[in-house]
Structure 1
Amino acid sequence: MRSNVSLSFANGLPLAVYTVGMDQQIAITRLEGFSAHQVLITLSGAGKFRELRQEQWKLLEPGSLLYIPANVPNEYMPVDGDAWHVGYTTYLENKSGALSSWGFGEEAFVGMLSDLSHTCALIQRIWKNSGPEHNPWAATESLTALCLEILKQMHSNNLNLSPAMSSSSGSMQESIVDSTLRFIHDHLSRPITVTELAARAGYSPKQLTRFFKQQTGQTPLQYLQALRLQTAHLLLIDNPHLTVRHASAAVGMEPVYFNRLYKRTFGCTPTQSRR
């Protein structure tokens, strides 16, 4: 990390870079927030973030952008103990709201970027002009270019830099549910719990269940069970030589329990469905 201890708003500069770096991020809780605005980009691994006044966590996957205004109590940490690598910069404003028209205002938000190579290059430019070789004009120019690049990428992804992005409704809920559905379909043969799904999404089991039901009309477990039964049913019909035990194992279910649910759903046993 490089910091500019003697911050300068020389000749009316609207912004001043405070810190910049690329590090393996550790868990941090800030009861009174940070003294500067924070821009944090996930490079690899995953983390999660929440404002302390909120219950919900927001998942930060590779390519995620996190913006936290100054003095907003918050906490963030790696997910599942994995290494979470981030690039970041923090800055102060000469006049409050200098970047608010670009979306960097008084509300935290999370979004996705499409080109990490360009944003990383701009962070490196800020780094080059900070610390021992601090050049306030060049650092501020690179910071402004970074924020403009973020704005461009967010618009190219059909997203707006606005407080709405930090809410749990609309596209954010759809994104959470879509990623959960993807995980379920990709790992159908392994044991899956709501607790695990919620941890991966960065939310509590109760919150994930609410989002999931709003989007699909089912709880995660109801959806998982129906998908497993339907998938096993098609496997048995399309593969006459496949045993019931193998079909149930292929969808992550114990044979006795599978037989009971199958009969309840389809009105016959798996063996009878082939006749």
Structure 2
Amino acid sequence: MDPNHQQFMSRQLAQLRVQLLLAKRSVCHAGWQRLRFTPTYDKLYYICDGEGWLQVGRKQLRPKPGELVLIPGGLEQSYSVTAGPPYTKYWCHFRSNVPLRRLFHLYGLPHAVWAGDSADLSSSFQELVEHRANPGPAGPLRIQSALLAIIAFFMERALRFQRAKYASVSPRELMETLHFIDQHLSGELTIDELSRQAHFHPNYFIRMFKRHLGMTPMRYIQERRLEHAQQLLETHDLAITKIAGLSGFKDLSHFSAAFKKKYGASPTEYRNLLMNGHADLMPAGQSDVPEPSCLFENNSG
């Protein structure tokens, strides 16, 4: 991997913190199916046996036993059984403070990697299942350790297949722009300022940014501000107005409307869900509610 790519990826992963929502080992049945939904949480599958298919965006996958799958939140997806025996799998839902969807897009990472019959991987998933079901004083540490180990396992293999996506721009310029945005989310960020930072004409900068990130700079900034606000709500007991300001929103009503559009709940409602221990659920009608589709379990993943 290019040293600039590696430095940016290492910096992002060094900041990674995760919150486990659900973890189970499930045997799916013939009704395991859900089409065209977009969860905000990230998910991992470790396929133990059986058949099925997943669709992430426009890409259809048929993970086989021994494959580890990571699907970042914010991507439209579908899944279903096939005519063969349904999946037996370990799976978990989690939230992360680093936008994994952006890393997948930026580095062209695959959603499935070969793991084989890995005792270490099975053990890590089993730790998630056990410590979520029976939390002890050290349970949160065990969960963080096991979940980060699974993500590291995936990333090490996925990065071997990383596709270079920088044909006409230095990686350093784009990476430095993304880092600059993250360091200045609370302030005014304009196209003129960002293009000066990257040493590009504003029009070229917008085209380059959209080509590599899949969205305009201003939309990216909006997404990062909302993700930053979500992280602050989950980790700090700050006033909503303070969180809005720290995330770069000058107007509280605009912040509340944008947050609700993305996450299905206003900042206040989201905080109440957190306080009541239901951060993994969204209000009725949203796409994050787990679905009943597996034998022996209430959820399918």
TM-score when normalising by structure 2: 0.42
Q: Tell me which of the two structures has the higher relative contact order, counting C-alpha pairs closer than 8 angstroms and 6 or more residues apart.
A: 2
Q: Which has the larger radius of gyration?
A: 1
Normalising to structure 1: TM-score of the pair? Answer: 0.45
